[in-house]
Amino acid sequence: MSVTTLEEKQYLLRFKCDKKSHLTILNHDVCATQCPDKLCTLFCPGEVYKWEGNRMQVGYEGCHECGSCRIGCPTENIKWEYPKGGHGIIFRLA
């Protein structure tokens, strides 16, 4: 079947998760006070970021490692690294 929801799309992928996040919110207060739209929660293609009312939850396990959040964050509040070698997303096709 052709998938429609993002959850279904993410379910098609293989990840080898590290125990430690490769994405770090530098300051949760900045998200709370300086970013009314919480933009990363919208444009991130893996919906890695979820606003939990007072802090940004980072579901790094579903990250495509594309880099959009680092570049698109209007307050440059995301520290972005690569997951440890061999970890993270493992594309099998395209």
9 forms part of the interface with other proteins (CB under 8 A): yes
19 forms part of the interface with other proteins (CB under 8 A): no
Residue choice 19, 36, 37, 54 for contact with other proteins (CB under 8 A): 37
Which CB atom, from 19 or from 94, has the smaller least distance to other proteins? 94
Asked if 26 contacts 79 with a C-beta cutoff of 8 angstroms, the reply is yes
Closest distance to other proteins from the beta carbon of 5 (Å): 9
Residue choice 20, 27, 43, 55 for contact with other proteins (CB under 8 A): 43
Q: Measured between alpha carbons, how far is residue 38 from residues 8, 45, 66 in Å?
A: 23, 14, 18
The contact set with other proteins (CB under 8 A) reads 1-4, 6, 8-10, 12-13, 16, 37, 39, 42-43, 45-46, 64-68, 70-72, 74, 80-86, 88-94
